[in-house]
Amino acid sequence: MTLELNNAAPVFDMKDIYGRQINLEAYRGKKVFIGFFRHAGCPFCNLRVHKLTNMHQELKANGLEMIFFFESKEKILLRSTFHQEVSPIPLISDPEKEWYDAFGIEDSSKKSTVGHITSFARSAIQAKLKGLPMHLMADGESYGTMPAEFLLDENLIIRKLHYSQKLSDRLELEDLMEFARQKQMAV
């Protein structure tokens, strides 16, 4: 079941791959971007993480924190220099997909297949040119996981959400920056 706008986000409390305790409740009073990505070798997701990581300081300076989820096991993410360098952004491993389910993340082999057929080559070339990891699923990762992104206000209320219909379909970067720059709502 997907989440809806203007409702409270499910509150998680778990360790990220760097060993830090990440409790969503601790972000109250800040705006938050939460990204749910596929597996550690997904070029679509790694291109997105690369763009977001490059914008991290600017978004943070404008009041937006970020938290990333991957379905990959922690050991797979920690083998990747690219994913290790996402820090200081929390990167949470959720191979059991407990929080993917709580946030209504879709599993659709059909949509994933369409995405691979229509845009895999372009995304793979872009990822390779940037030196981003790209490999097949491993150790329980899913072919059909569809990405999703959420923007929460200072009260952890979902103000924007985007359940991807294609593997390269995400919130516009300009929308993230605009959300970050908006004045704070009453806490």
Q: What is the pTM of this model?
A: 0.89
Q: What angle do CA 179, 61, 3 make, to 5 degrees?
A: 35
**What single string gives the DSSP state of each residue in 16-45?**
-TTS-EEEGGGGTTSEEEEEE---TT-HHH
Among 169, 179, 157, 187, CA closest to 37: 169
pLDDT tens-digit map of 21-67: 999 999 999 999 999 999 888 888 999 999 999 999 999 999 999 99
